[in-house]
Structure 1
Amino acid sequence: MRMPHPESTAATREALRAAFDDMIQCFQEARDAIDDPALYPPPPTDRNLAEGYRYVAGFMLNAIERALADPLYPRFRRAIQPMNRSTIDNADAVYLGVEIDGNYSYRIRGRAADTRHWRGEAPAAGTTAPQYVIFELASGYSGDSGKLSEMQPGTRINTSTLDSSKLQVEADGSFDILVAPEQPEGYSGNFMLSKRSSRGVEHVGRFLTCRELFHDWANQDLLDLEILRIGCEQEPRPPIDPAGAEHMLREIGRIARNQVHFWNAFNTITLETYGQVPGGISERMGLDKPFMPVNDMNPPNVLGIATGGGQSSNIYAGGTYLLEDDEALVIETRTPIEPHFLGFHLANLWGESLDFESYPSNINAHFVETDPDGARRWVVCHRDPGVANWVSTTGVLHGYTSRRWTYPEPPPKEQWPTLTARKVPFDDIRAHMPHARIVTAEERAAQRLLRHRHVQRRYRQY
């Protein structure tokens, strides 16, 4: 005869209910950041408010997934996706993340389609690997403290990085990567160090990211990836207990609240989205305008993990646009040394990339058409100007512009990309882009279909 399960205790029920209530309270505090001026939200337009609620819901989703993860039994998941876009994300990227404990050793196994372009060779016809891939192992997760003080140098570091320019890949596209506190003697394969000292502090790798960047949305496809802690098959995972459930619930709330509060402050104070502030980044960099200037972009620069995160192999530039219906922003760049990846993207003031499935709200180096003088020119405006290289605001009147150039080895400063931006009347776009090709409505529809199909593949959940 089966014995009945023992009844839960009143103490357990009350403790779990209290943890759940704490989680809900943190969700409320995250929600407050949508419209409480003390928490640095964007201007409260109807659209900003609507997008703000979606934005907070996205951080709730991300917090649930992170709090339910187990560093000893990890699996790759989507750190950013259409349901939880944030941090002025790259619309050409897949962001994968996995929690680990860098005191242990792990093995990543993967497979890619044709990778010849990773080695500077011409790619084969048909499906290929992403344009560029980078694995980065960080000792912490940007924004988790909820306070800008976490950006102090040495607070958080990358213990290791490995990108597609250095990744050893077999002829069939397979590869593996050892992640460990020490490199075994005689080991010559792909390796990522999970413990590193910096400024006298030992940092342990806790969050492993994989960014897959796409140029050719029609033909480049995702990696297949798995990660396993070495020896996990010998140690079945213990079931969750009440203490573990209490911790999980409070972590969900804490992560969601702190992330929303941190990025609001980061956008307003660090990036100076709404104007210069005392002690802001423009003052530290010697700029005479806000770091995120209006209808302009800051000079190409390197932003690292100490300034809120970012891909370690990127050169960045950013700004904001603020355009009327009869205005446009023409942005020009020249690249003395061609990067492995080049993308231009728009985002709303919450830092969510704009809808890149139904609109051309981003255009990368594969799709942008180069002018005869060697420059690449994009035009940002609210309505279709009928020319190539149009980047749509999707109707967002005020938002972020961002540009990324990816260099596994940074070029000399004198050979960095150059960048200019100018606001022009909508009716004068063709005068400022005299070589821009005319694009028909049928071609725009074909571009949208390509985007829909690529997004289906990029974010498949099966």
Structure 2
Amino acid sequence: MSQQDSNHATRAALRQAFDDMIQGFQEARDAIDDPALYPPPPSDRNLAEGYRYVLGFMLAGIERALGDPLYPRFRRAIQPMNRSTIDNADAVYLGVEIDGNYSYRIRGRAADSRHWRGEPAAPGRTAPQYVIFELASGYAGDSGELSEMTPGTRINTGTLDSTALQVAEDGSFDILVAPEKPDGYKGNFLLSRRSSRGVEHVGRFLTCRELFHDWENQDLLDLEILRIGCEQEPRPPIDPEAALQMLREVGRVARNQVHFWNAFNAITLETYGQVPGGLSERMGLDKPFMPVNDMNPPNALGLATGGGQSSNIYAGGTYLLDDDQALIIETRTPVEPHFLGFHLANLWGESLDFESYPSNINAHFVETDPDGARRWVVCHRDPGVANWVSTTGVPHGYTSMRWTYPEPPPKEEWPQLKVTLVAFDAISEHLPHARRVGPGERAAQRLLRHRHVQRRYRQY
């Protein structure tokens, strides 16, 4: 083939791959309003948020496709521009593709981290409340099919959290990621290749969750990841075959992720009603797994509910409130968790705007009642009391609670949870000890949120 003919063939193949990517975007778009693809009810706001949601997965697909497992770098897997999967509004989700057949070294630095070891935190800037690294053999949702939820299909090959992380006095640490732990090695380690149920799994996607309680003082980690030996092997330039793969990957990720999570929300979580053979039936519940104006019992389902954080106990449900209604969410924790947060999300699974609204309140900010219980009030308008969690005007959405336990307590000492539907005008009657909060304090809270979100998601 002549050079000219080769150029023509390359150009045609790349144009086709680009068209395939656009087709993937269109199929992702279809999931916004095609009833066969399980979208939320088609209100004006749900439709508008659905288009933003799809754009977020397009962005995620582009970032992932441009990555290179042999020359990785951490990026934000979830951020305000692409929230999804009922994400934790108190978290930074960092992610990076690797090839677990190789070895890597993570280097990091944390501000004062004494609280990771149960010691009192120092005044001023400190490390995040809790950090966990998890290396998975696949990325949840990539297949576009719920069959990927079959036990053993995807596993964590290694986990390491801040309670076990060895940190030097200056806040520095390093983590070896490798298929085998070297003899005599005693440092921080993540296994990147592991057998389960007779199948060898290779770590492909490394996540780092940084969870925040004190939004004013807790700050991000500094992190880098390098494949061991990368300095000896300059990265080769992109060629047509790699460009073809990159373009198709962008469309595949966007399409499959949107289709998977729609089906996951409707069928696995039973957001819109019970499903034969669904989680509620398997757990012996008499209501959908995500009940309306209620929450499911605290559980540690993790991979069974989309690959959540392995050290979390979860509870979730949906709220469906009129303007004159409110939910009171109450929890008691016989064993205090390392992190506790309560959050709202829309029916696409996007956390609600947590920069301009108090749509989440964690254990640092929630005010505890004299009886030792923590109580949040969920409603559309400001009731003038502390612990108000705003729906931002979304009439129907998700509630979620996360309790983080690196070592889960005995089942009899798990968190307790109670949800009560009340009239808006009766909130004070049900929360007699709630402190009154005026417009000035709300404005100060919003400013703190704006500043923290800018710092948490800084791009420089």
TM-score, length of structure 2 as denominator length: 0.99
Structure 2 residue aligned with 1:70: 68
Per-residue deviation, 1:8: 6.2
5 Å-filtered alignment, 1:40-439, equals: 40-439=38-437
Query: Residues 251-300 of structure 1: CA distance to partner in whole angstroms, max 9, x if unpaired?
Result: 10001000000000000000000000111110011000000000000000
Query: Residues 123-170 of structure 1: CA distance to partner in whole angstroms, max 9, x if unpaired?
Result: 110000000000000000000000000000000000000000000000
Q: In structure 2, how many angstroms separate the alpha carbons of the residues matched to 1:155 and 1:361?
A: 34
What code does the residue aligned with 2:190 have? M
Q: In structure 1, how many angstroms separate the alpha carbons of the residues matched to 2:303 and 2:187?
A: 27
Per-residue deviation, 1:93: 0.1
Q: Is the 8 A contact 1:215 1:341 kept in 2?
A: yes
Question: What secondary structure does 2:316 align onto?
Answer: strand
Equivalent pairs counted in the alignment come to: 458
Per-residue deviation, 1:307: 3.2
Q: In structure 1, how many angstroms separate the alpha carbons of the residues matched to 2:432 and 2:305?
A: 39
Q: Which runs of 5+ in 1 are unaligned?
A: none
Question: What secondary structure does 2:81 align onto?
Answer: helix
Structure 2 residue aligned with 1:38: 36
Question: What secondary structure does 1:82 align onto?
Answer: coil
Query: Residues 99-134 of structure 1: CA distance to partner in whole angstroms, max 9, x if unpaired?
Result: 000000000000000000000000110000000000
Question: What secondary structure does 1:212 align onto?
Answer: strand
Q: In structure 1, how many angstroms separate the alpha carbons of the residues matched to 2:270 and 2:182?
A: 46
Q: Is the 8 A contact 1:144 1:259 kept in 2?
A: yes
Percent identity, aligned pairs only?
86
What code does the residue aligned with 2:164 have? K
Per-residue deviation, 1:440: 1.0
Q: Is the 8 A contact 1:158 1:305 kept in 2?
A: no
Q: In structure 1, how many angstroms separate the alpha carbons of the residues matched to 2:225 and 2:8?
A: 40
Per-residue deviation, 1:308: 1.3
What code does the residue aligned with 2:451 have? R
Per-residue deviation, 1:7: 9.1
Structure 1 residue ranges (4+ consecutive) displaced by more than 4 angstroms after TM superposition? 5-8
Q: In structure 1, how many angstroms separate the alpha carbons of the residues matched to 2:298 and 2:359?
A: 21
Q: In structure 2, how many angstroms separate the alpha carbons of the residues matched to 1:277 and 1:425?
A: 30
What code does the residue aligned with 1:423 have? L
Q: In structure 2, how many angstroms separate the alpha carbons of the residues matched to 1:106 and 1:197?
A: 20
What code does the residue aligned with 2:410 have? P
Q: Is the 8 A contact 2:65 2:249 kept in 1?
A: yes
Query: Structure 1 332/23 Cα, relative in aligned 2: closer, same or farther at 3 Å?
Result: same
What code does the residue aligned with 2:54 have? V
Q: In structure 2, how many angstroms separate the alpha carbons of the residues matched to 1:445 and 1:303?
A: 38
Question: What secondary structure does 1:14 align onto?
Answer: helix
Q: 1:23 aligns with which of 11, 21, 24?
A: 21
Q: Is the 8 A contact 2:269 2:305 kept in 1?
A: no
Q: Is the 8 A contact 2:368 2:374 kept in 1?
A: yes
Per-residue deviation, 1:306: 3.9
Question: What secondary structure does 1:63 align onto?
Answer: helix
Question: What secondary structure does 2:61 align onto?
Answer: helix
Root-mean-square deviation over aligned CA pairs: 0.9
What code does the residue aligned with 2:137 have? S
Question: What secondary structure does 2:45 align onto?
Answer: helix
Q: In structure 2, how many angstroms separate the alpha carbons of the residues matched to 1:67 and 1:265?
A: 24
Q: In structure 2, how many angstroms separate the alpha carbons of the residues matched to 1:278 and 1:149?
A: 16
What code does the residue aligned with 2:332 have? R
Q: Is the 8 A contact 1:336 1:416 kept in 2?
A: yes
Q: In structure 1, how many angstroms separate the alpha carbons of the residues matched to 2:61 and 2:101?
A: 24
Q: In structure 2, how many angstroms separate the alpha carbons of the residues matched to 1:257 and 1:166?
A: 38
Query: Residues 172-210 of structure 1: CA distance to partner in whole angstroms, max 9, x if unpaired?
Result: 000000000001111100000000000000000000000
Q: In structure 1, how many angstroms separate the alpha carbons of the residues matched to 2:6 and 2:341?
A: 55
Q: Is the 8 A contact 1:113 1:127 kept in 2?
A: yes
Q: Is the 8 A contact 1:146 1:259 kept in 2?
A: yes
Q: In structure 2, how many angstroms separate the alpha carbons of the residues matched to 1:277 and 1:115?
A: 45
Query: Residues 6-49 of structure 1: CA distance to partner in whole angstroms, max 9, x if unpaired?
Result: 89611011000000000000100000000000000000000000
Q: In structure 2, how many angstroms separate the alpha carbons of the residues matched to 1:438 and 1:203?
A: 54
Question: What secondary structure does 2:272 align onto?
Answer: coil
TM-score, length of structure 1 as denominator length: 0.98
Q: In structure 2, how many angstroms separate the alpha carbons of the residues matched to 1:349 and 1:156?
A: 25
Q: Is the 8 A contact 1:155 1:306 kept in 2?
A: no
Q: Is the 8 A contact 2:267 2:275 kept in 1?
A: yes
Q: Which runs of 5+ in 2 are unaligned?
A: none
